[in-house]
Amino acid sequence: MSLYFNFQQPTTNNQQPTTNNQQPTTANQRMSFKNQMEFLKELQKNNSKEWMDANRKWYKQVRDEYIEWLNSMNSRLAAIDDEYYDTPGKKGINRINNNLMFHPNKPVYKDHFGAGFDKKPKTADFYFELGIDRCIFAGGLWRPEPKVLRSVRDAIDYDGEELVKILNKKSFKTRFGGLYEDVKLTNAPKGFAKDHKHIDLLKNKTFAVAREFSTNDTHKSDFNDQLVEYYLEMLPFRRYLNKAISV
C-alpha cells in the first residue's frame, strides 16, 4: 500500500496550516517527504524560536508524519534482522534543536530531520538523515570515547582481517566507498606497533561509513527498498563494531 502525505504550503506569518487526516501506518509505508522538505526550507529562511512558535502546528504535523514512516520502517527492519533492537519512531528521531551550549555559533535549529534505527543504547546504530540539500545513510562510531575506541582497536588487533574483509567486499565498497574520512593519528596509537599489519585502520578515531544521495531519491517508488538494502549491507560492519565494544 502506498501512502503519500499531502503537501502543505508554508506559513510565513502566524497563520498555521491545517493538519490533514492520515492513513494508518503499514509495514511498507511510502512517503513523499515533500511536506518535510518544505518545512525545512522555510525554517532555514526563518531560523528562530519566534518563527518556530508561530508554526508549531506545522512542525508537529511534519514530525508526526515522519515518525509514522519511521515506525513502518522499524517494523520492516525488525522482520529481517533477528537481532534488531526495537526502535519506535519517537525513540529513534533526533531533536531538531542544535545544542547551543556546545555549539554556540550554530543556528537554533538544524537543517534536517535525523533518526536512528536499531538504536540500542551505547552501540553503533543505523542512521538516516533527511536534509534540504542531501540525504544520508550512515552508521558506526563517530569519535567514540577513549575506552570504546580502545575496544575497537583491540578487536582489530585480534581479528582485523574480518573487518578488512567487510570493508573490501565489492558491494560494500560500491555503496559506501570505505571508512568515513575523519581525523587520524599521525603515529601508531599507544600499545600498538608502528609496523602493525592493520596500522592504517588502528590510526582511525572514527569508525563509520556513510552514503550521501540526492533528496530527489526519496521520492522514488523504491526508496524504502533502498534503505533496507543499505541497512543489510552495513549490518556486518555494525555487528563487528558492536561485538568489539561489548566485550
211, pLDDT greater than 50: yes
Q: Report residue 75's pLDDT band, with 50, 70 and 90 as the boundaries.
A: very high
Q: Report residue 99's pLDDT band, with 50, 70 and 90 as the boundaries.
A: confident
Q: What is the mean pLDDT of the chain?
A: 88
Q: Report the alpha-carbon distance of residue 215 to residue 196 in Å, rounded.
A: 41
Smallest CA-to-CA distance from 166 within 157, 153, 156, 151 is with: 156
Q: Identify whether the C-beta of residue 55 lies closer than 8 Å to the C-beta of residue 16.
A: yes
pLDDT of 29 reads: 65
Share of the chain above pLDDT 70, in %: 88
| 18-39 residue pLDDT tens | 344 444 445 556 688 999 999 9
Q: Identify whether the C-beta of residue 12 lies closer than 8 Å to the C-beta of residue 65.
A: no
pLDDT of 32 reads: 81
Q: Report the alpha-carbon distance of residue 141 to residue 180 in Å, rounded.
A: 10
pTM across the whole model: 0.85
Q: The C-alpha cell of 233 is what?
A: 549491507
502506498: which residue's cell? 2
| 214-232 residue pLDDT tens | 999 998 999 999 999 999 9
